[in-house]
Amino acid sequence: MHQEVDSAAVLARSVVALDLPDGRAPVVGISGFGGSGKSTLAAELAQHLPGSAVVPGDEFLHSRPPIERSEDWGSVDRERLVGQVLEPARRGAARAYQVWDHDTAAPGPWVSLAGATAVLVEGLGLYVPELVGLFDLRVWVDVDLDTATARGMWRDEHEYGNAQADLWTGVWRPNDADFFERYRPDRAAHVLYAPPLRSESGLPGPVSR
């Protein structure tokens, strides 16, 4: 049965309450459609969990921006995510992961995870069978696909000055729809998070890819 929450503060209490017998830092997944507010939630949650580290899923894409149509978000480099973050964190041995280097279009500099009190991994396509068991708590940002896409498109155009309508309509939204139908990540989640409604040029809720 899902837990439903509507604030990062309540979600933080769920993270703190995790009973991990080995005493290691919890590994939390935060996933949702593009534009649903994953990174917004991760940042807010980190504020309530002193010493925690946010791992952005965008650092684990084979290309940025992703341009590949797929039913399983094949643009996500899950092998590197598992090897650098998830498996070490589950062993209590998380050390560092590589961020994406735009100049070389390849993994580049390393970011330390040493001493993190919680590892918060946010991103697309996280809840596939080979990964679900590597998260101690799985969160789904419960925003419908149409709303999430509209928010993401508005953000890219009005906040970043980088309208990517063709990618949103031709790749990212179809990928999200296919992934959702195939894997039902909402059902894989322990927690459904409903972002608070906020007015933003006519679009409710936080905007984040």
Total Cβ atoms within 10 A of residue 116: 21
Spatial separation of the C-alpha atoms in residues 57 and 19, rounded to whole Å: 25
What percentage of residues in the chain have a pLDDT greater than 70? Answer: 93
Report whether 35 contacts 152 (CB < 8 A).
yes
3-state SS track over the chain: CCEEECCHHHHHHHHHCCCCCCCCCCEEEEECCCCCCHHHHHHHHHHHCCCCEEEEHHHHECCCCCCCCCCCCCCECHHHHHHHHHHHHHCCCCCEEEEEECCCCEEEEEEECCCCCCEEEECCCCCCHHHHCCCCEEEEECCCHHHHHHHHHHHHHHCCCCCCHHHHHHHHHHHHHHHHHHHCHHHHCCEEECCCCCEECCEECCCCC
Residue span of the structural domain in which 140 resides: 3-16+26-197
73-89 tens-digit pLDDT: 999 999 999 999 999 99
Residues 73-96: b if buried by 16+ CB within 10 A, e if exposed: bebbbbeebbebbbebbbeeebee
- In the chain, the number of structural domains is 1
State CA 51 to chain mean position distance: 19
Per-residue pLDDT, averaged over 174-190, amounts to: 98
Q: How far apart are CA 202 and CA 200, in angstroms?
A: 5
Task: Say if 72 falls within a structural domain.
Answer: yes
In sequence order, the β-bridge partners of residue 138 are 29
Q: What per-residue confidence (pLDDT) applies to 178?
A: 98
Contact partners, residue 205, CB within 8 Å, separation at least 6: 37, 143, 147, 151, 195, 196, 197, 198
Confirm whether 9 is domain-assigned: yes
What mean pLDDT is predicted for residues 189-206?
A: 70
Task: Return the sign of the alpha-carbon dihedral for residues 89, 183, 76, 146.
Answer: negative
Residue 153 tokens, joined: 């498109």
Which pLDDT band, with edges at 50, 70 and 90, does 209 fall under?
very low
> Is 207 inside any structural domain?
no
- Does a structural domain hold residue 106? yes
pLDDT tier, 2 (very low <50, low <70, confident <90, very high otherwise)? confident
Does residue 108 fall inside a structural domain?
A: yes
pLDDT in the model for residue 21: 79
pLDDT band of 197, cuts 50, 70, 90: low
| Residue 21 is assigned to a structural domain of this protein | no
145 in a structural domain = yes
Residue 15 to residue 186: CA distance in whole angstroms:
18
Report the CATH number at residue 7.
3.40.50.300
pLDDT over 80 at 1, yes or no: no
pLDDT band at 198 (very low <50, low <70, confident <90, very high): low
pLDDT tens digits, residue range 125-158? 999 999 999 999 999 999 999 999 999 999 999 9
pLDDT per residue as tens digits for the range 32-69: 999 999 999 999 999 999 999 999 999 999 988 999 99
Give the pLDDT mean for 157-186.
96
Asked, for residue 126, whether it belongs to a domain, the answer is yes
